[in-house]
Amino acid sequence: MTSMIRVGALISGGGTNLQAVIDACEAGETGAQVVFVGSDNPAAKGLARAERHGIPSFVVDYGDIIRRYRQDPAGVHLPSDFDLAEMRAKSRLFPADADEAVVEAFLATRAAAENGLLAAMAAYKFDLLILAGFMRNLTPYFIDRVNTDPEDPRIMNIHPALLPAFPGTDGYGDTYRYGCKLGGCTVHFIDYGEDSGPIIGQRAYKILPGDTLDDIKSKGLKEEWKLYPDCIRLFAQGRLKVVTRTHELPGGKTMTRKVVAIDA
Ligand code: GRF
């Protein structure tokens, strides 16, 4: 076994995925150890999980930054290397008809918050950053500073649906309301879009006729708790490679997409 990789985690809420990852790491199942936990939310219950396991944690209060920006944009400190035009050009978080004032406020507040995350994370060496119920979209400002080698991404996210179906904040609700007969969860590397990056792993569960939304959530979370440690183990083993694949489509068009190839 090669040496353990170091994993940082960002959370927003209860942190049951974080707990599953910590437990799998402590059981020696991943080849990884969790070295810090960060949150955008001072009230995140998952922070207590980190404390119980002796893992250092920090909070960057996104809500506070956004409130202060609304009151007085000049009162929020933007990073000196923040380039709004560059971020606007790179980000794929916004629809084509987005209101540019809203986009600017979003990118500025997130860059200010992300600068805080990066400053706190600088205290730790880490190989992989996992988003474990982190309910904030990350902008290119943050992503480029963590993915220093664009060919070798190292930010993973877990999403509560079988992507590319149902990106966004309510994967289980969307799955339920659509009348799906299978639901699932996905771990992927993040890119500049929302839940759009290369897929690493997926697990599925059956949806039965009487299932409620709560049933779907509870089935889904059980799969998430297995999937995330599995994907971290593959990363720790150096078995995940992002490759670019191009396919010919009917009508002479081509489709190019970055996908994850998993070494046997
Ligand atoms: C999970 O369903 C995860 O897929 C989604 O948010 C939820 C977080 O749950 N992104 P927890 O905080 O890990 O319990």
Query: In this predicted structure, which of 24-38, 89-103, 122-136, 176-190 has the lowest mean pLDDT?
Result: 89-103
Give the integer Cα–Cα distance in Å for 115 and 121. 10
198 CA distance to ligand 1 middle (Å): 19
pLDDT of residue 89: 94
Q: Is 159 a catalytic residue?
A: yes
pLDDT at 73 (0 to 100): 94
Q: Report the alpha-carbon distance of residue 88 to residue 115 in Å, rounded.
A: 17
Per CATH, which fold does 5-262 belong to? Rossmann fold (3.40.50)
Residue 229 to residue 233: CA distance in whole angstroms: 6
**pLDDT value at position 145?**
97
Per the listing, tokens 């880490």 go with: 126
With a 6 Å cutoff on the Cβ, whether 17 touches ligand 1 is yes
Would you place residue 150 in the very low, low, confident or very high pLDDT band (cuts 50, 70, 90)? confident
Instruction: Give the residue from 86, 147, 76, 145 showing the smallest Cα distance to 112.
Output: 76
Give the tens place of pLDDT for each residue, 74-112: 999 999 999 999 999 999 999 999 999 999 999 999 999
Count how many residues are written for the chain: 264
Beta strands per DSSP E along the chain: 5-11, 32-39, 57-59, 128-131, 155-159, 182-189, 199-206, 240-248, 254-262
Q: Residue 3: pLDDT band by 50, 70, 90 thresholds?
A: confident
Nearest CA owner, ligand 1 atom 2: 160
Average pLDDT, the chain: 97
pTM of model > 0.85: yes
Output the CA 15–ligand 1 centroid distance in Å. Answer: 7
Q: What angle do CA 255, 159, 44 make, to 5 degrees?
A: 145
Burial of 113: CB neighbours in 10 Å, binned 0-12, 13-18, 19+: buried
pLDDT greater than 70 at residue 29: yes
Among 119, 179, 177, smallest CA distance to 145 is for: 119
What are the residue ranges spanned by the domains of the chain?
A: 5-262
> Average pLDDT of 8-12?
98
pLDDT above 70 covers a percentage of the chain that reads 99
pLDDT of 1 strictly over 90: no
Whose C-alpha lies nearest to ligand 1, atom 9? 133
* CA atoms of 245 and 172, how far apart (whole Å): 30
Q: How far is CA 238 from the centre of its chain?
A: 20
Shortest-distance atom of ligand 1 to CA 18: 13
CB of 191 sitting under 6 A from ligand 1? no
User: What distance in Å separates the CA atoms of residue 190 and residue 18, rounded to the nearest whole number?
Assistant: 18
Percent of the chain whose pLDDT exceeds 90: 97
194 close to ligand 1 (CB < 6 Angstrom): no
Given a cut of 80, is residue 2 above it in pLDDT? no
- Going by DSSP bridges, is the β-strand pair 32-39/182-189 parallel, antiparallel, or unpaired? unpaired
